[in-house]
Structure 1
Amino acid sequence: MNRRTLTRIALFVALAAAIALAYAYRGLLNVAALESWVKSAGALGPLLYMAVYAIATVLFLPGSVITLAGGALFGPVWGTLYSLTGATAGATVAFLVARYLASEWVHRKAGGWSKQLIEGVEQEGWRFIAFVRLVPLFPFNLLNYALGLTRIGLLVYVVGSYVFMFPGALAYTYLGYAGREAVAGGAGLIQKGLLALALLSVVAFLPRLVKRLRGAAAVTANGKISSAELKQRLGRRHDDMFVLDVRAAQDYSGPSGHIPGAINVPLDELPRRLSELKPYRDRPLAVVCRTNKMSGKAVQLLCETGFKQALLVEDGMVGWQRQQGHALPAGQENTCAAMPVPGSASAGTGKTITIIIQNAPYKGDNKAWHALRLAGAALVEDMKVRVHLLDDGVQLARRGHPVPADAVDLEKLLAELMECGLEVRACGMALQDCKLDRRGLIPGVQPGSMTALAGWVKDSDVVLTF
C-alpha cells in the first residue's frame, strides 16, 4: 500500500470521526451560542462566523440555523454576505476532499447507469449547479461531496455555488433579521415580516426559472433534440453544434438533400470510421437519418464509445425539411413518417403479427413485396410486427441485390420499415445455403433460428406465410 493511499485512508477516518463527534454534540450549535462566540471575538466576529459556517458544512451540521443567526447578528446585507461566503467555503472544502479521496476510484468503477448519470452531470456543468443550488430539494451538505466525485471544474463549481445560493441565503438571512427585530420590538415589523415571506416565496418558485436556465442542455441530458431546436441552435453564431448524417451516400447527395455542413457517415460504416469523428467526441453532435430508428442505433454506438453529447434528431430529415418550409421531393418522402416511432407511448401497444417470407424477391408473384406492404400497414395500425426470412426468402436480406427494371427497391423498403420498428430475422441455415454472412446483410437484419421463430409464433396474435 503506497503513501498516497495511506494518506487518503487517514483523512477519511479523521473526517468520519469528526462528523460523528459533531453529530454527537450538535445541540451546542444554536443561535445563542453562536451569538456569544461572535461577540466575544470582537472585530474578528465575522471571520469566526464564516469559519464556523464552513466547518459546519463540512461536518454535516445544519446550515439554516447559522444563516438565521447571521441575519440576527449582522443584519440582512452583511449577514447575507457572510453566510454565503461561509457556506461556499465549506462547500468547496467538501468538494475538494471528495475529489481527493474517491474521484479517481469512482470514475474507474462507474459503469452502466452510474456512468451515464455522472457524465450527464458533467455535460450540464454550471446549469446543473444552478439547478441543485436554486431548488431546495437536495441535501446541501451531501451534495457538496457528491459533486466532488464528478469532473465539474472547480471554478465553475465555486462561482456557480456562490451565485445561485444567493437567493436562498438572502431569504433565510432576512428571516433571521426580521425575527430578531420582532423580539426587540423594532419598527416596521409587519413590513419586514411580509418581505421575509416574499423572499421565501421567490425561492419556492425558483424551479420555474431553472427550467428556462437549463434551455438546450435539458435536451442534451435527455439525449434527444427536435429538428426545430436543431435549426435554432445551428443558427446561433457561437453554438458548437455539429450534425452527423447516417444515411447512405446516395440519399445524402440525392434529391432529398441534407443539412448544410452535415458530416455523412453511413450507419453500416460508422463502427470503422469512428476515428474520423474524434474531434467531435466532447461536442454536441446531432445524429440524423430519415426518421429515428437507424439514427437511434448510431447514437447508442456513439455513447458506448465515449461521445458525451450525441443527440438523436427525433423527427429526422422529414422534420428538417418541414422546418425549411417544404416537403421532401416527390417519390422521396419517407414512407415511415406516419408510422409509430419505436419507444413512443403508443408504439407496440397493439397486436403482434409474425410474417414468414419463404419466396425470393422480384419473382413474378411479387409475394415478398406484398408481405412487406402488409408489414408496413400493420405498423401503421400500431401492431408489433416481426418478419422471419426462410428458404429463398433470405435473399431479401441481401445488401446490394440487383433491382429489376420497373420494380420496387425492396432493400430500401425493408430498411425504411426497420426504421419504423420492424424486427427482421433471417434463418441461419438458409443463410449458409445461400452463402450469406452478416457482412452481406442489410443493416438491422439479425440471424435467426427455428427455435426463435417458434417463440415468435407462440406469442403472436396473427401468423402469415408468403
Structure 2
Amino acid sequence: MNPSTLRRLLPVAILLAGLATFLLLGLERYFSFEMLARHKATLTAWVAAHQVLAAFGFMLAYAFMVAFSLPIAILATPVGGFLFGTWAGAGLSVLGATAGSIAVFLAARYAFRDLFRERAGARLARFEAGFHHNDFSYLLFLRLVPVFPFWLINIVPALLGMRLRRYVPATMLGIAPAAVVYASVGSGLGMVLKRGEQPDLGIIFEGRILVPLLGLAALSLVPVIYGRLRRKRGA
C-alpha cells in the first residue's frame, strides 16, 4: 500500500481504532442510566456551578460519541435534557451530533470517495447525478425517518459527493425533531431514576411521535417529486 493511500485511510483508521478500543475495554458499562442514577446529585451540582463549561463539555463529548460511532450515543440526548432542560439539551445535542457527523463525513470522503467512484463506474455516475439534484431533500428524509443507522447516513452522502455546506444544514434540521423528543424524555429523567425505572427510549416509535416525523419526512420529498414532474413536462 503506497503512502498516499495510507494517508487517506488514516482518519478512518483512527475512528475505527477508537470504536474498537471502547468495545474491547468494555467502557460502555460506565455510560448507563444506572451510573447516572448513582452520581446524578454530584453531576447536577457541578453543571449548575459551571454552566458554560458543562455545555461545551457535553457538546464535545457528544461529538466524540458520534465521530467514533460509539453505541452509547443514544443515551446522550436524554442526559442533555436532564442536565440542561428540553430545549437547551436538544440544541446542544444537535450541535454535538452534527460536529461528530461532519468528522465521519470528511473522513469517509477523504478515504473512500475516489475508490468508490473507480469501482462503481458509470452506474454510480447516473445515480450520483440523480442524488445531486435533490441531495438536501434526500438527506433530510433519511435523517427524519428513525430507522436508518445514523453512522451509515453520515457516510453515504460523502461517497455520493454531497457538498459539506449542504450536508451540515440538512443534518441539523433532520435530527432536530428527534432530539427534542429525546431531550423532553430526559427532562423528566430525575423522577424516573428516583423510582428506579428506565426511560422509554422507544417513544420515538409511538404513533403520536412517529406519524408527525413521517409526515415531515414526506414533506421533505416534495421538491424531489416537483422537480421530476417539471422535467417530465419539459421533456
Tell me the TM-score normalised to structure 2 length: 0.78
The structure-2 alpha-carbon separation of the partners of 1:136 and 1:113, relative to structure 1 and needing over 3 Å to count, comes to farther
CA-CA distance at 1:182 after TM superposition: 4.4
Gaps of 5+ in 2: none
**Residue 158 (structure 1) aligned with residue 165 (structure 2):** no
State the match for 1:26 in structure 2: 28
Highest Rg: 1 or 2? 1
The aligned length equals: 219
Residues in 2 aligned to 1:140 and 1:162: alpha-carbon distance in whole angstroms: 13
1:130 paired with 2:132, answer no
Higher relative contact order (CA 8 A, sep 6+): 2
Report percent identity of matched pairs: 25
2:69 maps to 1:57: no
Partner of 1:205, secondary structure, is helix
Q: How far is the alpha carbon of 1:39 from its aligned partner?
A: 5.9
Question: Does 1:102 find its partner at 2:104?
Answer: no
CA contact (8 A) 1:38 1:46 kept: no
Alignment of 1:306-385 (within 5 A): none
Kindly indicate whether residue 186 of structure 2 is the aligned counterpart of residue 176 of structure 1: yes
- Secondary structure of 1:69's partner? helix
Residues 197 and 142 of structure 1: is their aligned pair in 2 closer, same or farther, counting only changes over 3 Å?
Answer: closer
Across the aligned residues of Structure 1 and Structure 2, the Cα RMSD in angstroms comes to 3.1
Alpha-carbon distance in 2 for matches of 1:19, 1:210: 30
Structure-2 separation of matches of 1:11 and 1:132: 25
The 2-side partners of 1:18 and 1:197 are apart by 29
Give 1:208 deviation, angstroms.
Answer: 2.7
Q: Judging changes above 3 Å, is the alpha-carbon distance between structure 1 residues 182 and 26 closer, same or farther for their aligned structure 2 residues?
A: closer
Q: Which residue of the partner structure matches residue 201 of structure 1? A: 208
2:89 maps to 1:72: no
Letter in 1 for 2:215: R
- 2:15 maps to a residue whose letter is L
The 3 A distance-change label for structure 1 pair 38 and 55 is: farther
| SS class of match (2:84) | helix
- C-alpha deviation, 1:103, in angstroms: 1.1
Inter-partner Cα distance in structure 1 for 2:158 and 2:204: 33
Cα distance in 1 between the residues matched to 2:204 and 2:15:
37
Contact 2:178 2:204 (8 Å CA) reproduced: no
- Opposite residue 147 of structure 1, the aligned amino acid is P
Q: Which residue of 2 aligns with 1:213?
A: 220
Counting only pairs closer than 5 Å after superposition, residues 232-251 of structure 1 correspond to structure 2 as none
Question: AA paired with 1:208?
Answer: G
* CA distance in structure 2 between the aligned counterparts of 1:106 and 1:78, rounded to whole angstroms: 39
TM-score by length of 1: 0.42
Q: Which residue of structure 2 aligns with residue 45 of structure 1?
A: 54
Query: Structure 1 pair 81/125, CA: closer, same or farther in 2 (3 Å)?
Result: same
Please give the per-residue CA displacement for 1:302-330, whole angstroms capped at 9, x wherever unaligned. xxxxxxxxxxxxxxxxxxxxxxxxxxxxx
Other structure's SS at 2:69 match: coil
Q: Are 1:54 and 1:90, in contact at CA under 8 Å, matched by a contact in 2?
A: yes
- Residue segments in structure 1 that go unaligned for 5+ positions in a row: 186-192, 231-240, 244-285, 288-466
Greater helix content: 2
Once the two structures are TM-superposed, the CA of residue 3 in structure 1 deviates from its matched residue by 4.1
